[in-house]
């Protein structure tokens, strides 16, 4: 009976090793003359290559119909990666409107599979 908690603890440890999550904040700043600056701010757990790809894809996002006013808008997104590299559980924590959250979620879903991380390098 004492071995059951140990086995349960091992399963929990394996699930934590193979699964990883991340949080990405996207900051879009509108300046004069309809110029936009997109900056992706990763959390400590996010992969830096993913950040570059998402930042590049969001450069083309221009909320024309929504009349985005001058300012800084931050979209915060949480997601879970399984051991195969599939992204699931995408949830938007902070949605400032203007279709920004939907665009970030769409780009994360379009990214495809994430590659494995190498520990200790």
pLDDT tens digit sequence for 57-94: 766 666 555 566 666 777 777 777 777 777 778 888 87
* Structure-block tokens of residue 75: 């979209």
- What pLDDT was estimated at residue 20? 46
Query: Is 98 among the domain residues?
Result: yes
- What pLDDT was estimated at residue 19? 43
Does residue 112 surpass a pLDDT of 60? yes
In angstroms, the Cα distances linking 92 to 26, 37, 83 are 11, 21, 22
Number of domains the chain is built from = 1
pLDDT bucket at 9, cuts 50 / 70 / 90: very low
Helix crossing, 100-110 with 48-58: angle to 10°? Answer: 130
The whole domain housing 29 covers: 18-110
Query: Is 3 among the domain residues?
Result: no
Q: Name the one residue in this structure whose structure tokens are 């399963």.
A: 11
CA distance 60 to 109: 17
Give Dmax over CA atoms of the chain in angstroms: 70
- What pLDDT was estimated at residue 27? 64
């Amino acid at each position: 009976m004492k071995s059951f908690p140990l086995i349960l603890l091992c399963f929990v440890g394996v699930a934590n090793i193979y699964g990883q999550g991340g949080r990405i904040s996207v900051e879009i700043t509108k300046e004069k003359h309809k110029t936009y600056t997109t900056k992706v701010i990763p959390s400590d757990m996010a992969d830096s290559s993913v950040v570059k790809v998402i930042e590049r894809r969001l450069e083309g996002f221009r909320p024309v119909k929504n009349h985005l006013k001058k300012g800084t808008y931050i979209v915060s997104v949480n997601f879970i990666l399984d051991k195969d590299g599939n992204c699931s559980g995408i949830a938007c924590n902070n949605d400032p409107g203007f279709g920004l959250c939907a665009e970030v979620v769409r780009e994360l879903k379009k990214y495809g599979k994430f590659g494995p991380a190498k520990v200790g390098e």
